[in-house]
Amino acid sequence: MQQIPEKLVQSYSFSPERRHALYRRTLAVVIISQIFGGAGLAAGVTVGALLAQQMLGTAGLAGIPAALFTLGSAGAAFLVGRISQRRGRRAGLASGFIAGGIGAAGVVLAAVTDSVVLLFIALLVYGAGTATNLQARYAGTDLAPPRRRATAVSLAMVSTTLGAVAGPNLVTPMGAFATALGIPALTGPFLLASVAYAFAGLVLYFWLRPDPLLLATAISAQDRAETAPATDSQSTPEPPGNNRGVAVGTTVMVLTQIAMVAIMTMTPVHMQSHGHGLTEVGVVIGIHIGFMYLPSLITGVLVDRLGRVPMAVAAGVTLLAAGIVAATAPAQSMGQLMIALALLGLGWNFGLISGTALIVDATPLETRAKIQGSIDVLIALAGATGGALSGVVVAGTSYAVLSLAGGVLSLLLIPVVVWSQRTTPHN
C-alpha cells in the first residue's frame, strides 16, 4: 500500500478537529464528483436498451446493454477496489470514471459506424463508470465515526441525484444536439456521459488529497502501535462475526440489485411499445433515479438510528410493492408507472445503504477497499444477470410477469437477515 508521510499522519492523528475537517472536505469532493457521475450513469439506464433495440432490430435482446455495462462494471469494481487498496481512493476512483468516459465515447462511435461489435465492447468499458459511481460511496466512510457511517454513505449518494435526475430529462435536447451533429439521436445522452464521467474523474484526481483511505489506514496502524505494541500482531484479524456481516450485507445488496435492474431495464422498452415517447420515458426514469438517491439523507439517518437489519427488511417489502404496482399498471398509465419506478428506486436505496453499512462495519481498513471491490463485483454480476434475463422474460411472457418476479425475489433477503439475528448470539 502507498504510504503517507508520517508527519502528515501525526498531524491528523493527534487532532480530532483537523481529522473531522478533512472528513467534511472529503465528502464535499465526493459530492461534486458524484454530481457529474450521476449524469454519466443516467445515459445507459435511459437509452441503452433503446439503442440496442434500434441497432439489433429486436426487443428480445434489448436487455443486452444493461447486461454488458453491468458485466463491465463487475471487472471494473474488482480493479478499482484493488487499485484503491494499493494506491488509495483517489487513484482507483479517478481511473474508473475516466475509463467510463472513454466507453461512453465508444458507444457513440459504434452507433455512428453501425458496429454492433464495437457497441458491445464500448458498453463493457462504459460499465467502469457505473462501478466507480457506486464505489465512491465508500470514500465518505473511511474517516467517518462508526455511528455515522450510513449517514456518510447517504451524503455521498444523494449528490448523485442532481446529475442522475438531470440526465434522463436531457434525453430530448441531447438527442436534438446529436441530430444536429449528424449522428443518431440516441447517442446524445452518451455524449453527455463521456464528458460527465471525465469531469468526475478529474475532480477526484486533483482534489481528493490527502487520500482518505490511506490516511485512515495509517492513523489506525499508528494508534494500534501506540496503545498495544505487544499485541499489535493480534489486532489485525477481523473481529468475531465479521464474516457474517459481510455475507448478510452482500446478500441484501445483490438481491436488491437484481430486482431493480431487471424491472428498470425493460421499463423504457415497455413504455415505447405502448406509444410513450422519449420525453415520457425520460421523466419516468428520472423519477426512478431520483428515488434511488434523493432519499439517501433520510435513509442514512434511519440506518444509523434504527439499525441495519430493520432497513434491510424495509427494502424487501418496498421492492415487492414496486413489482406489484408495475405489474398492475395499465399500458397507458404514466402515473402508476411513475409510482412503481419511484418505489423501485426507494427499495434499492434502502437495500444499498443498509447493506453498505453492514459491509463497512465488518471490514478492517487494511483490506476494506479490496473486499468492497470484490463485493461490488457480485453486485454488478447480479445486475448483469437481471438485465440479460429481463428482455428474455418479457419477450417470453410479459412486463407484468417480470415485475412480479422481481418483487417476489427481493423478499428472499428477509429470511437472510432473520437468520443473521438468530445466529449472532451463538458466536
Domains of the chain (ranges plus CATH)?
A: 12-222+239-421 (1.20.1250.20)
Q: How far is CA 352 from CA 108, 109, 227, 268, 361, in A?
A: 31, 33, 35, 23, 14
Q: Which H or E run contains 120?
A: helix 116-139
Residues listed for the chain: 427
Of the candidates 310, 302, 322, 209, which has an alpha carbon nearest to the alpha carbon of residue 261? Answer: 322
157 and 34 Cβ atoms separated by less than 8 Å: yes
When pLDDT is cut at 50, 70 and 90, the band that residue 189 belongs to is confident
**254, amino acid identity:** V
pLDDT at 331 over 50: yes
Tabulate helix, strand, coil % of the chain (nearest 5).
Answer: 85, 0, 15
* Predicted pLDDT of residue 160: 76
Q: Name the more confident of 95 and 173.
A: 95
**55, amino acid identity:** M
110-133 average pLDDT score? 89
Q: What is the pLDDT of residues 31-69, one digit of tens each?
A: 899 888 888 877 666 677 778 777 877 666 666 776 777
pLDDT at 229 over 60: no
H-helix segments, 274-333? 278-293, 296-306, 308-327
What spatial distance separates the first Cα and last Cα of the chain, rounded to whole Å? 32
* Predicted pLDDT of residue 290: 80
* Predicted pLDDT of residue 417: 81
402 and 263 Cβ atoms separated by less than 8 Å: yes
* Predicted pLDDT of residue 45: 64
When pLDDT is cut at 50, 70 and 90, the band that residue 186 belongs to is confident
Instruction: Calculate ∠ Cα 211-217-220, nearest 5°.
Output: 135
Phi, psi of 329 (to 5 degrees): -75, 130
- How far is residue 217's CA from residue 74's CA, in Å, rounded to a whole number? 25
Least confident of 35-44, 82-91, 357-366, 391-400: 35-44
pLDDT at 233 over 50: no
* Predicted pLDDT of residue 317: 95
What average pLDDT is seen over the chain? 84
Q: CB count, 10 Å around CB of 366?
A: 15
158-172 average pLDDT score? 73
* Predicted pLDDT of residue 386: 84
Q: Nine-digit cell at 226?
A: 501506540
* Predicted pLDDT of residue 198: 95
Q: What is the pLDDT of residues 268-290, one digit of tens each?
A: 888 888 878 878 888 888 889 88
For a pLDDT cut of 90, what percent of the chain falls above it? 35
- How far is residue 235's CA from residue 358's CA, in Å, rounded to a whole number? 20
- How far is residue 328's CA from residue 29's CA, in Å, rounded to a whole number? 42
